[in-house]
């Protein structure tokens, strides 16, 4: 399916690694120009170079998105380069384990800035250009908003906020024909996830244990599978889809846990 994304300028926050990198790579393969936004220019540039080496186009801006003024400067830099913004993928964030029992006000608020506030700010600053292009917004979210996880109050709250903002913005943006959707991730194997697994006493056993809980094919979702849905939602192929929370998770979040007992 041709997604008609050729030369569309699409911001991907956290685009240097993991799911964000997967999104950038798929967008570039569809002819779009992903703009990688991450805190380290060197990491961003590695992805840009990788895309260019395969015949694609990309751009990067270094920004610490937990700082509001850097969100504004990043959008200004992108507009100075291209003059347009056709799409925004809010993806950057980290499951930082700020919990209820041992957390603090400062850590909680810091986590909200890392995981939620910049979603709002990036959309706010990009909005005048998205209005002109009738662009689309995709917010990446996590199952933690719906399932809970334990030990991660701030991250769960941020993801609840991401889901709420997705629906709120979808309503507010109707008058501009800007579509806003979210892709919700459960268990996706990324370099960050790999580092976490390898820090455990029995990494192979833990991966096998997690895989058993994922109904479809008993495996984790790939970054490319997340990215394929994101690209579709950014494109006019999904022209009447807005305000949706789409779970690309192999059935992890919503299918009956008893299914796993049947298979094992």
**Would you please indicate which residues are annotated as catalytic (active-site) residues?**
155
85 and 126 in contact (C-beta within 8 Å)? yes
DSSP codes, 160-177: HHHHHHHHHHHHHTGGGT
Q: Give residue 246's region: left, alpha or beta (phi > 0; psi -120 to 50).
A: beta
Dihedrals phi, psi of 123, to nearest 5 degrees:
-65, -40
Residue 2 Cα distances to 192, 193, 222, 248, angstroms: 32, 32, 22, 21
Residue 143 Cα distances to 39, 57, 210, angstroms: 25, 32, 14
Q: Return d(Cα 242, Cα 179) in angstroms, integer.
A: 5
185 and 19 in contact (C-beta within 8 Å)? yes
């Amino acid at each position: 399916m041709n997604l008609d994304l050729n030369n569309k300028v699409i911001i991907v926050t956290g685009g240097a690694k993991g799911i964000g990198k997967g999104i950038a790579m798929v967008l570039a393969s569809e002819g779009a120009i992903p703009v990688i936004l991450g805190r380290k220019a060197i990491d961003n540039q590695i992805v840009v170079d990788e895309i260019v080496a395969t015949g694609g186009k990309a751009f990067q801006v270094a920004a610490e998105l937990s700082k509001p003024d850097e969100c504004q400067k990043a959008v200004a830099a992108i507009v100075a380069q291209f003059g347009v913004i056709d799409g925004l993928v809010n993806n950057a964030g980290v499951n930082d384990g700020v919990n209820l029992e041992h957390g603090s006000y400062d850590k909680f608020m810091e986590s909200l800035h890392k995981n939620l506030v910049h979603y709002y700010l990036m959309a706010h600053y990009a909005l005048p250009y998205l209005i002109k292009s009738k662009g689309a917004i995709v917010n990446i979210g996590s199952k933690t908003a719906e399932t809970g996880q334990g030990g991660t109050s701030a991250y769960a709250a941020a993801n609840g906020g991401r889901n709420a903002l997705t629906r709120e913005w979808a309503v507010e943006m109707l008058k501009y024909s800007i579509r806003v959707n979210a892709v919700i991730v459960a268990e996706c194997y990324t370099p960050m996830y790999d580092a976490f697994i390898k820090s455990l006493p029995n990494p192979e056993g833990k991966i096998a244990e997690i895989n058993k809980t994922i109904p479809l094919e008993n495996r984790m979702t790939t970054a490319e599978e997340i990215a394929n849905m994101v690209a579709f939602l950014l494109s006019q192929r999904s022209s009447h889809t807005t305000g949706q929370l789409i779970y690309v998770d192999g059935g992890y979040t919503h299918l009956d846990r008893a299914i796993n007992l049947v298979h094992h």
